[in-house]
Amino acid sequence: MAENTENSQQACDGNCSSCASSSSCTDPNKKSSGIEKVDISVKHIILVLSGKGGVGKSTVATNLAMSLANKGYDTGIVDLDIHGPNIPKMLGVEDRRLESRDGKTIEPVRLTGKLGVVSMAFLLPDTSSPVVWRGPMKFTAIKQFLEDVNWGDMEYLIVDLPPGTGDEALAICQLAPNIDGAVIVTTPQDVAVLDSTKAVKFVEQLDLPVIGIIENMSGMICPHCGDEIDLFGKGGGKKAAEDLNVPYLGSIPLDPEMRKAGDEGRPFVVRKSGDDQHQATWEKVDAVMDNILKQIKQ
């Protein structure tokens, strides 16, 4: 594999304008003239990513989008996990389909008057259909999700990215204007923190701000005895933020209601339970979302 990578690098002469693969190239070192930013009217774009899967990245993205919409901001969320699109399920709109007004302009699926969503899931025959695509096809889809969608004059666009630092993350960074930065989601254990560190360095390498790190699944209140259990450890995300000199946005506990919210398609920020344990979780989630806004507005 190393040999193939080296050969491909040698084959590139650096002349992006004459390269047949220029339109789909996701090389971060590509000359700026090769790929133009898409023309969309959005003030703030926030990337949500992680170094590995299973840390609750999509949960954070859906709650952030819903929180912004509830505050009265015109908000959109783009599900760029092309191979595993879960955002429609987590927002309760998995049965909807994308529609076009004029044969070209795509209308986002609307949850409320303030929140719209676009996802590959809306284009698949059924929920079990896989997407078997290589990089160039994903690049084209990402570009269409940005410039061919009727987002209108929007204040916030949340981009939910797949785990890692591959094609989708590179493509959105090359195509999207007005990127405020990236929110990195991790869980407390060392293996997740290690991968989140890579995500931070990836974002910095692309000269984008790191909005901050969120530690998800940080402790759990036992429903039987009320004691806190550090199921995955605790404090790893905060220590990573300190070591990397990036903001720490707070922690979100592991709560069964959070899982239920995603399965039922109703983000946790709108499930204000009267139970003391779940109310405490909601307050932490709300505090994390507010911290993200504070970092953007600084």
Residue 135 annotated as lining a ligand binding site: no
Query: Does a structural domain hold residue 25?
Result: no
Range of the structural domain that residue 65 is part of? 37-297
Q: Which is nearest to 235 in space by CA: 190, 295, 169, 201?
A: 190
**Domain assignment present for 6:** no
The answer to whether position 21 is within a domain reads no
- Spatial separation of the C-alpha atoms in residues 3 and 220, rounded to whole Å: 47
Domain annotation covers residue 85: yes
In a domain, 12, yes or no: no
CATH label of the domain that carries residue 219: 3.40.50.300
Taking the C-alpha atoms of residue 170 and residue 121, their distance in angstroms, rounded to an integer, is 21
For residue 5, what pLDDT is reported?
Answer: 40
In this prediction, residue 1 carries a pLDDT of 42
Is 113 annotated in a binding site? The answer is no
Q: Are 73 and 156 in contact (CB under 8 A)?
A: yes
Task: Spell out the long-range contacts of 189-194 with Cβ–Cβ below 8 A and sequence spacing 24 or more.
Answer: 189/232, 189/233, 189/236, 190/233, 190/236, 191/52, 192/50, 192/51, 192/52, 192/55, 192/232, 192/236, 193/236, 193/237, 193/239, 193/240, 194/51
Evaluate whether residue 153 is within a structural domain. yes
The number of distinct structural domains making up the chain is: 1
Tell whether residue 84 is among the known ligand binding residues.
Answer: no
| pLDDT of res. 8 | 38
Check residue 27 and give its pLDDT.
55
Task: Specify if 31 maps to a domain.
Answer: no
Q: Residue 158 is which amino acid? A: I
Q: Which residues are 5's β-sheet partners?
A: none
Give residue 101's pLDDT.
78
Asked if the structure places residue 216 within a domain, the reply is yes
* Residue 54 known to bind ligand: yes
Q: What is the 3-state secondary structure (H, E, C) of 124-180?
A: CCCCCCCCCCCHHHHHHHHHHHHHCECCCCEEEEEEECCCCCCHHHHHHHHHCCCEE
Smallest Cα–Cα separation from 233: which of 216, 257, 214?
A: 216
Q: How far, in Å, are 127, 135, 153 from residue 168 at the CA level?
A: 21, 8, 24
Q: Is 138 annotated as a binding residue?
A: no
Q: What is the model's pLDDT at position 257?
A: 84
Q: What is the mean pLDDT of each run of 10 residues along the chain (298 residues)?
A: 40 43 51 74 94 91 94 96 95 93 88 94 92 92 95 95 92 95 94 91 94 92 77 87 95 87 87 68 89 87
- Residues 6 or more apart whose Cβ sits within 8 Å of residue 222: 228, 229
Instruction: For residue range 85-101, list pLDDT tens digits in order.
Output: 999 999 999 999 999 87
Q: Is 56 known to sit in a ligand binding site?
A: yes
